[in-house]
Amino acid sequence: MSAQLSDSRRPLVVGNWKMHGSHAANEQLLEGLKSAGPLPCEVAVCVPFPYLAQAAERLARSAIAWGAQDCSAHEQGAFTGEVSAPMLADFGCRYAIVGHSERRALHGESDQLVADKAKAALAKGITPIVCVGETLAQREAGETESVVKRQLSAVIHTLAHCAGEMVVAYEPVWAIGTGRTATPEQAQAVHALLRAQLAAATPRAAQMKLLYGGSVKPDNAAQLFGQPDIDGGLIGGASLKAADFVAICRAAANH
């Protein structure tokens, strides 16, 4: 971390396990992460709901935080299948990913619903990791800026004076799980836009963590994390192998 970065800009690398794992496989993966020793960044894993308790137990007293991959916008009630922020907070959940492109695309989540989920998480002291990003068609149509600004704007307005408390993850949809990573310059350009948008809304913008996600691997992480407005990553596929995830975390020393 460069000397001029405040501690709140210490890089953060988050694993998004998506719908992968089993009790036995998770034991190995979590053990692999714990045995890696000190890492030059904050680290978290966002695991499927049934394995939150396992992560909480295995990561207790370690430097690795854990989180969920979603949370309901509602506190409680007749919402079958949903998991609320109060439930997550009940046993110490630190982060919740909201607005992942898979949820926006496959579950029809709107910008406002994503914003409401972020608000519900924050209300319980859970840091929302708010994902924004354009599809390939939107990028090719020159709409990247308007799409990510629209997505972020809904969250900024809903969180109001708490907007500075979220983590934002720029995840171009065309880079997620495709092996096609944004170049460091492409990613930095969008991160700079997002930080400028945040700066107009909150005095905390310079301290906020903006993560890049989309086919981050051990061999491209250092270049991405070396960009001035990229403060770490949201890692999907490569977070399922302890050695790869640890190597990506180590690349955060380049921030």
Going by DSSP bridges, is the β-strand pair 210-213/232-235 parallel, antiparallel, or unpaired? parallel
b/e 74-109 (16+ beta carbons within 10 angstroms → b): eeeeeeeeebbbbbbbeeebbbbbbbbbbbbeeeeb
- Smallest distance, ligand PEP to C-beta of residue 85, A: 20
Name which position in 132, 176, 187, 252 contacts ligand PEP (CB under 6 A): 176
- Smallest distance, ligand PEP to C-beta of residue 176, A: 4
The residue at minimum Cβ distance from ligand PEP is 236
Check 102, 134, 171, 191 and give the catalytic one. 171
Encoded tokens for 35: 């045995």
Q: What share of the chain is helix, strand, coil (3-state, %, to 5)?
A: 50, 15, 40
- φ, ψ of residue 129 to 5 degrees: the values are -100, 100
Nearer to ligand PEP, 121 or 201 (CB): 121
Window contacting ligand PEP (CB under 6 A); options: 29-37, 88-96, 153-161, 169-177: 169-177
Encoded tokens for 183: 């170049």
- Smallest distance, ligand PEP to C-beta of residue 100, A: 6
11 touches ligand PEP by CB under 6 A: no
Cβ atoms 56, 44 nearer than 8 A: no
216 touches ligand PEP by CB under 6 A: yes
Enumerate residues 6+ apart whose C-beta is below 8 A from 77: none
Window contacting ligand PEP (CB under 6 A); options: 58-66, 170-178, 182-190, 243-251: 170-178
d(CA 95, CA 46): 8
Q: What is the dihedral of CA 138, 141, 146, 147, to 10 degrees?
A: 0
DSSP symbols for 180-192:
-PPPHHHHHHHHH
232 touches ligand PEP by CB under 6 A: no
Name which position in 9, 12, 16, 116 contacts ligand PEP (CB under 6 A): 16
Window contacting ligand PEP (CB under 6 A); options: 30-38, 68-76, 155-163, 207-215: 207-215
235 touches ligand PEP by CB under 6 A: yes
Check 100, 109, 134, 191 and give the catalytic one. 100
171 touches ligand PEP by CB under 6 A: yes
236 touches ligand PEP by CB under 6 A: yes
Nearer to ligand PEP, 93 or 187 (CB): 187
Active-site residue, 171 included: yes
Name which position in 75, 76, 125, 177 contacts ligand PEP (CB under 6 A): 177
d(CA 102, CA 2): 34
Catalytic residue ranges: 100, 171
**Which residue ranges make up the site for ligand PEP (CB under 6 A)?**
16, 18, 171, 176-177, 213-216, 234-238
